[in-house]
Every structure is written in structure tokens, then in C-alpha cells.
Amino acid sequence: MTFGTEGEIMTTTSAGIHHVTAIASDPQRNLDFYAGTLGLRLVKRTVNFDDPQTYHLYFGDDAGSPGSILTFFPWPGARRGRTGVGQTGATAFAVPEGSLGWWIARLVSHGVEHDAPTRRFGQPVVAFRDPDGLPLELVADPRAGERGTWDGGGVPAQHAIRGVHSVTLWLARTDATARVLTEALGFAHVADEGDRSRYAAGGGGPGALVDLRVVDAGLRGAGGAGTVHHVAWRAATDADEVALSRRVSAMGLQPTPVIDRNYFNSVYFREPGGVLFEIATDPPGFTADEPAESLGEALKLPPQYEPRRAQIEAVLPPIHLPGAVPAKEA
């Protein structure tokens, strides 16, 4: 049993990572990399609700499960950012034990440079970057097999990515961020290794892990293509989201009101280390506006933009799944 900021029993906790959202430049190149090279499912093709003339692309597993989702705001021509203090410095995907060798060959055959494999908390890790320079990792985790996958992207099922494994936050100091994770969101400190402290939600395991890493405070991050915009933590219900948001407020932080994101309800706040956090509900999920079988195939717009569909479609650059015939040339 854990206790929250005001001594109440902490009955509401986050189950871990809901999604990670990053910035990209060219949308087709982004789609080719994540749905092609990495073999993720495009689970939603929509627009940036705050800038509806640009895409918001969601990648994940077969069902678009919370914890499998990496999303992008691709702004054509976006200036490249710089990963540094106050950001999510790396996003790691889980792959099955024994699959890392297959993945290294896959990256090499697709012309993706990677670092030499290392071990972290006993697990093999390989680091690489997406075409915009976003730092990514693959972690071979024995519990990866418990999670959903997608075998429609050209990666054999036995090797396919099994959701987000963990995120690493780059911080000048970790204490205040650690307090938010433990006292507001219900994470627990589980391990230390070098300059890295690991926190886990619920039963831990892939999708429930966040590492806090102390980085030289001079390495300030700058937003832009190839950087993470925010990381979202799961709330099981709307009521849980409100409870978690209240605890964030009680720590003197300033969460936004609940915002309807169509596929989840969201609250955003800047944690003391500078990283933008979101709390996102598991329901209603990505089948809210299209069937599970055809997730990601059609451009979906929230109700407020549906009357402007023709204008929006006219300005969005055409994109197509890797291997598909571009619509305009069909």
C-alpha cells in the first residue's frame, strides 16, 4: 500500500505508458519508417487537433492498445530539434528475447545505423534513430511476449515489436520528477544503474517502466523534428484521470482541464524537470470511429473538423502505406 501527497491511500495509480508523441518532418518518410522498417500498425490517420492542416499519425499494435502507441506530428520542412535536458531522451520498444540479432540485421538491411548492443538492467539494448534523428531503442525483454503485436507490417510475428518498453527522461536532477511519478502517479523506484534510476508502475515489465537519467544541465533540449513532444501515462477511467490530476495539482503543478482527444481524454502538465506529461484514459480507444479491421486506412477527423473535410484533405500531402499504390496515381 502506498500513500499520496496528503496521506490518503493511493488507490488510483497509472498502469504505465499510454503513448509517446514526437515531432517528425516528412509524413511519408515517417510512415515508411514506422509501418515499413519497424513493422508497426498505422492505427490512426488523423489531423493534429490543434493544427488541422497537418497530420497526426498513430502507430501501435494490432488493437492499438494503450502502451503500444507512438504518435507523430509530421510538419513538412520542420526544423530539427535537439534532444537534451527536460525531454524524453529515448523511447524504447520491447522485442522478444532472442530477437535482437534479427533486428540488427533488419536495421542494417534498411540502411539504419545503430549503436553497438549494450545491456541495461540485465537486458540487451540496441540504440538507433529514426529518419528525423529521434532516439529509439529496442530492448529484448522476457515479458515482451505477454503483449500485443502486429504481423501485417512485414516483420515476422515472432520478432515483431511488442509495444513501448520504457522511456528515458533526461534531467538535470531527478528528485522532483521522481516525486511526481511516485506520489502523484503511483510509480515505485525499482532499480539504479550508473546515472539511471528506474521506476515502475503496477507490476512493472515492458510498458510500465520509466528511467530517469541525470544529464549535464548544459545540454538543454530544443523542440523540433526528431524530439519527443510529450509522454502520456495511462488512466483506467475518466474518474481515475480526475483523481490523478488532483494529486498533480496538490503537488503545486498545473494540469490543464480534461481535453477530449476523441480516442482518449487528456490532461497535460509540465513536470518540474521540464518534461511535458499527459494523463490519457484507456477508453474509448481507436475503434471509437472505425472498425478494428480497417484501423488507419482512412483519414478520420474529429466532429469539429468534419464540416471542413474537403479543405483539410486538399492541403494535407497525400500519403500511402509502404508498398501501397499512392492514391493519386491509382
| Rounded distance between C-alpha atoms, residue 64 and residue 66, angstroms | 7
* CB 230 to Zn ion: min, Å: 6
| Rounded distance between C-alpha atoms, residue 211 and residue 177, angstroms | 11
* CB 94 to Zn ion: min, Å: 20
| Rounded distance between C-alpha atoms, residue 2 and residue 12, angstroms | 10
* CB 21 to Zn ion: min, Å: 4
| Rounded distance between C-alpha atoms, residue 83 and residue 89, angstroms | 6
* CB 278 to Zn ion: min, Å: 5
| Rounded distance between C-alpha atoms, residue 276 and residue 268, angstroms | 7
Please identify, using beta-carbon distances, which residue of 49 and 121 lies nearer to Zn ion: 49
Please identify, using beta-carbon distances, which residue of 246 and 261 lies nearer to Zn ion: 261
Q: Measuring CA to CA, which residue among 103, 97, 100, 40 is closest to residue 72?
A: 40
Q: Measuring CA to CA, which residue among 309, 297, 288, 314 is closest to residue 43?
A: 297
Please identify, using beta-carbon distances, which residue of 21 and 37 lies nearer to Zn ion: 21
Please identify, using beta-carbon distances, which residue of 91 and 197 lies nearer to Zn ion: 91
Please identify, using beta-carbon distances, which residue of 2 and 256 lies nearer to Zn ion: 256
Backbone torsion region of residue 205, taken as left when φ is above 0, otherwise alpha when ψ lies between -120 and 50, otherwise beta: left
* CB 261 to Zn ion: min, Å: 7
Please identify, using beta-carbon distances, which residue of 103 and 264 lies nearer to Zn ion: 264
- Where do the DSSP E strands lie in 61-156? 69-74, 87-95, 118-120, 123-129, 135-140
Residues in touch with Zn ion (CB under 5 A): 21, 232, 278
Question: Nine-digit cell at 211?
Answer: 528511467
Please identify, using beta-carbon distances, which residue of 56 and 247 lies nearer to Zn ion: 56
| Rounded distance between C-alpha atoms, residue 247 and residue 98, angstroms | 41
Whether the CB-CB separation of 125 and 118 falls below 8 Å is answered with: yes
* CB 264 to Zn ion: min, Å: 8
Secondary structure of 29-77 in HEC code, one letter for each residue: HHHHHHHHHCCCEEEEEEEECCEEEEEEEEEECCCCCCCCEEEEEECCC
How many residues would you count in the chain?
330
Please identify, using beta-carbon distances, which residue of 32 and 278 lies nearer to Zn ion: 278
* CB 20 to Zn ion: min, Å: 8
Q: Measuring CA to CA, which residue among 32, 72, 55 is closest to residue 299?
A: 55
* CB 265 to Zn ion: min, Å: 11
